[in-house]
């Protein structure tokens, strides 16, 4: 056979190189990493008050993240009725060693009980600082005060979350109940706790913030 040269051989070599690239192993950077372990530390809004276990926020969030290709586990550390003080008291055993990140959702019960926002601020910041000392990043899920508590209380309470997020450079989701609060069709008869559909909306809306949080974790 006559030996080919010139442009023809150039094309052959280019095709061979492309084929080799297709079958070569993926770079290590694209290999699947270990599962990311998150803890949702919160109150009844995280715990899934009066809902089946599979409808609770942590389970629904994990399901949504896995559907988008994330390898993640979200533990449910929500305790119904818990205040920020209660969350601080149980922090060490609620967030075990090996946790990669915490979604912190506390303060609603402080507000409903009319507790001093200054105390809520101290407790939430203490939780953040203690987690930081353990090298565990935090996504802070905020809460808004009921407007019938008066403008002074509302201002002091609502400012807790953005202030702490800014001070500690946290990913902030400003209002955990965004899109659900006040909608009777998305809440249980008590008007305070979301239905399973309400939880799905919470997950849908918080998902971009959680993805930003996961991106931060991947850079550590």
How far apart CA 144 and CA 63 sit, in angstroms, is: 27
Q: Would you give the DSSP letter of residue 186?
A: G
Active site residue 30: no
Q: Of the residues 43, 44, 84, 94, which is catalytic?
A: 44
How far apart CA 187 and CA 189 sit, in angstroms, is: 7
Q: Of the residues 82, 84, 190, 212, which is catalytic?
A: 190
Alpha helices in the chain, H assignment, sequence order = 7-23, 44-47, 57-67, 84-89, 91-94, 108-112, 117-133, 151-158, 160-168, 196-218
How far apart CA 84 and CA 126 sit, in angstroms, is: 10
Active site residue 193: yes
Active site residue 46: no
Q: Of the residues 30, 82, 193, 212, which is catalytic?
A: 193
How far apart CA 141 and CA 165 sit, in angstroms, is: 10
Residues annotated as catalytic (active site), given as ranges: 44, 190, 193
């Amino acid at each position: 056979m006559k030996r080919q040269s010139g442009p023809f051989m150039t094309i052959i070599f280019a095709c061979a190189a492309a084929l080799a690239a297709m079958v070569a192993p993926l770079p290590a950077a694209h290999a699947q990493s270990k599962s990311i372990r998150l803890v949702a530390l919160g109150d009844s809004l995280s715990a899934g008050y009066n809902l089946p276990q599979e409808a609770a926020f942590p389970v629904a969030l994990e399901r949504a993240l896995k559907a988008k290709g994330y390898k993640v586990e979200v533990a449910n550390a929500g305790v119904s009725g818990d205040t920020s003080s209660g969350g601080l008291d149980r922090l060490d055993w609620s967030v075990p060693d090996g946790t990669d990140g915490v979604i912190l959702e506390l303060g609603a019960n402080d507000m409903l009980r009319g507790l001093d926002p200054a105390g809520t601020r101290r407790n939430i910041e203490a939780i953040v600082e203690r987690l930081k000392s353990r090298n565990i990043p935090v996504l802070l899920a905020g809460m808004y005060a009921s407007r019938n508590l008066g403008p002074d209380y509302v201002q002091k309470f609502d400012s807790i979350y953005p202030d702490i997020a800014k001070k500690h450079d946290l990913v902030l989701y400003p209002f955990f109940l965004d899109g659900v609060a006040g909608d009777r069709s998305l809440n249980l008869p008590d008007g305070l706790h979301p239905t399973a559909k309400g939880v799905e909306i919470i997950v849908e809306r918080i998902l971009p913030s959680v993805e930003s949080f996961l991106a931060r974790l991947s850079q550590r």
